Each structure stands twice: as structure tokens, then as C-alpha cells.
Amino acid sequence: MHTDYLIIGSGIAGLTFAIKISAFFPDKIITIVTKSTAEETNTKYAQGGIAVVQNRTEDHFKKHIEDTLICGDGLCNVEVVEMVIKQGPKRLQELIDWGAKFDMNAKGHLDLGREGGHSKNRVVHHKDQTGFEIERAILAQANSRNNIQILDFHFALELISEKKQCFGAYVLNEKTNEILTLQSDITLLATGGIGQVYGHTTNPAVATGDGIAMAKRAGAVVRDMEFIQFHPTALYDKNATSTFLISEAVRGFGAYLRTKKGNRFMLDYDERADLASRDIVSQSIETELKKSGESCVYLDCTHLNPDDFIKHFPMIYRRCKDLGIAIEKDWIPVLPAQHYVCGGIAVDRNGKTTIDNLFACGESSRTGLHGANRLASNSLLEALVYAHNIYEFLIKSIPKNGVNGAEIMDWKLNEDCKINPQYILKTKAALQHLMQNKVGIVRHDKDLLVAKSKLQSWKNEVAAMQEQHQINKDFYELKNMIDTGILIVDQSIARTENRGGFLKT
């Protein structure tokens, strides 16, 4: 099977690029492969919004740039930060033109929220379901284009690469268990995050580090994987099987963090208090919990106008109410959870990886924007800007050699015995527990070495099993999670200086 552009992933990064390239090249075929339904992406679960400077009388690009650099703790690429932030208004307008609807204030202007690390209100949002609204709008746009085909329930196994050049990917049709050899002149990895590597994460089940692991196996450079961002305020519910996020915008709206005894502890850690950046708030909560021995801290919204709260955060209000938490009189129990990886596949300003004809965009990429810690709501902006940059580059660029220059073999299916699903479930749970306890908010070299040894042992087991068994999506997700875990651990061991979201004692 051949396509002109192969996009792996159907979130904001992949869809934005697909929409643009399909319009410029109406005679080219754009193929999007996604391992679940097309709308099941990290984008869908982004509550907060997009950080874009709008009100120029009260805000300015310079302030947004400064906030990003402070949050990144000295490791951001300044030129990249300036480029991304200055493109913000144009990229946001494109989303609006494609049908995305954002909240407006009484004067008819965009209602701008504020989140941790931001010195001004500049977060454009749709209630507390911004990502869901964006995904709805851009997926409708993609579905309306005749030259875009979306293959849902198709799982990318490996990149087809040779001599630092990419020729597409081997893709598993989950319904038929057939492996397609999907050749492409250009391949874009837009596979999202790595959250499922950790036991406690705000990410959906699809976030298993697939693109990063695939790129690493193909020989691409992967950087800054030690910088794992933990969101400070995931809802604490010991009976839940998944983690629900209490948006940072709630603190931007005026909520306070408190200990069980009522102490507003963030005043002791940072002059910005509850609106400090995520790394500082998460590390502060970790310190408080170790001192008290409690399971969680609390978010106090009782002093806020309940009608205004419900208007801005209807989904959060409903979830709390379902759990018997009345925000008018009860504090919300919260705990940090893995949320975002600031590193990933190294790319230049055009989204090019270190492998020819392979590009990466969104959370799976490392652009230099985030440095050691991501500023809230900069991620959707980054995806929009880099999807546009890749598009701009490729409409002027001819792929190097292309697929005609390679001898591509089909994947030989192994029809032998199936892998025991209990092995996958058991190993996945053990991996998540290991990463949560040994490679969490605060790390120690001794723990990291223990984690590395165990991960390598699992890697060897999985490699042996792949030779002898029929593979499936669950098996390959586990393989990717192990490879991603090793990257996080190795790069954590290598880092000797604490910065941003990385703290080793």
C-alpha cells in the first residue's frame, strides 16, 4: 500500500497537518492511521485551553515569552519560544475558521483564563473541555476532505527505515490481524504522550509512548525524556480505575490548595503561591504529603461563586457532585499525577527528525519550547505551530530519494502460538508500579538503577517472545512502554543537575 503522506496519530498535531497539506495538494493521498477511534487522543482530554496573547493592552508577546522561559528553568530554546508564541494568534484564528468554538465574555471578546506560571490571563478555552471541542472541529474538517483517509483501529508497529531514511511504517489492522506494509514519501509521527508508563496519569489508555519508542528503534535522536511533568491536581479517588484531571484553570479562577488541617501551604514555597508553575506545585505537594503522611491535599473552592464555577467548569462540577463532593462547601481531594513529557523525538524548527523524510509533531516531539518544564496550555499551541511549520516546509521541499529508492520487504507474519494476555496485564501493572515508585516526582540514583535493571529484563523477555509468538496491539504497547521507560530512566541517570520538573536527590 502506498500513500503520499503517512500520519500516525489523529490528535491536534496530525489532523492540523493533514488538513493543510490536503488543501495544498488536492491530488495527493494523505493517510492517517490511529490505533483506536479517530477522536480518542490526548487532545480530546485537554481541559485548560490554548495559551495565546490576545489582549495587547494588558498582555504582550514578551510577557508570554518570559513566562515560558521562567517555567522552562533555563533549558528552553529562546528562538523557538519566540517563534511559537508570535505565531499564536494566526494559528488560533485558523482553528476558529475551521469551526472550533471558544468561550466569549460579555463584551463579545474571547474569555481569557489564567493558569499556573502565567503572569496574565491569556488562556483561550471552551468551558473545561477545550481539547474535546478542538478535536471535534478539526476531525470534521479532516473527514470532509476527499484526499484524506483515516484508518482507525490500525496500530503502527515499526517504521520502515534504512540508512537514516524513512519509507513508511508497518501497520497492524487490529480487526483482521493483517500487517500492512504502508509505504510513504513522508511520515509524520503525531502519536501523543507516554502517560500509561506511569500508574497514576491523566492520560488516556492510548498514551503508551508508541511514536517515541518506534523512532528510537529506528535510530532517531530522542532527548530530554527525564523531564516528566506531573500535574498537581488530579482528583484523588482511591476507588477509581482512571484519573480525572482538575484543570489548572480552577486555581487560575481563584481556588486555594490546602493541607488537611487547612494550611495554605503554597504560600511557604513560592511568591506566586497557588499559581506557581506545575513543577513547583507538584514538588511542594510531594513534600507536604511526606511530612504529614496523608494521601492527598485539597483544593478549596468554597469561597468562589458557585454559579460562575458551574458555568466555567461544568464537567468538573458534575464529576465532583457524582462523588458526593459539593464544591460550595467541600474541599476537593487532589494528588499529582503524570501529565506530560517535555522531551521526545528531537526535531528542528521544521519538525524534521534526524531521519530523512521522518517528521514529528505534538507531545511525541522535543522542539525546545518547554525546556525543563511545560508552561500550562503551551502544548496545544506548540502542536498547531509545528504542524504549520512542517506543512510550510514540505510544500517547498522534495522528499529525499522517496520510497522508489528502497527495497521494502513485507512483514512476515508469525502464525505460532498466541501470547498469554495475563503476561501482558501482569507485566504492564508491574511496570507502572515500578515507574510510579522509582521514577516519580523525586528520584534517586539507587532507585533508577533498580528500575533500569528490571526494565532491561522485561525488554529481553519481550524480544524473545516476539520471535516465537503471534504479536498483537497489547503486546506491542507493552514493548513500547518498556522502551519508553528505559529512555526515561537512562536520561534521568545521565542528568546531574536539577532543573524544572526534574528533581534527583
Q: Which residues are catalytic?
A: 278
| Whether the Cβ atoms of residue 36 and residue 153 lie closer than 8 Å to each other | yes
What's the CA gap between 115 and 274, in Å, rounded? 9
Of residues 411, 428, 410, the one with CA closest to residue 419: 428
DSSP SS3 for 155:
strand
CA 73 to chain CA centroid, Å, is 20
Residue carrying the nine cell digits 458557585: 306
| CA dist., res. 212 & res. 346, Å (int) | 10
**Rounded Cα–Cα distance for residues 188 and 353 (Å):** 10
Q: In 181-305, which ranges are continuous DSSP H helix? A: 210-217, 248-252, 278-292
Listed in sequence order, the DSSP H helices in 179-262 are 210-217, 248-252
Beta-bridge partner residues of 154: 173
Which strand (E) or helix (H) includes residue 427? helix 421-438
Contact 12, 135 (CB under 8 A): yes
Question: Residue 53 corresponds to which amino acid?
Answer: V
The answer to whether residues 78 and 69 touch, using CB atoms and an 8 Å cutoff, is: yes
Rg (CA), the chain: 22
Give phi and psi for 339, each to the nearest 5.
-130, -40
What is the number of other CB atoms lying within 10 angstroms of the CB of residue 441? 20
Decide the pairing of beta strands 2-8 and 178-189: parallel
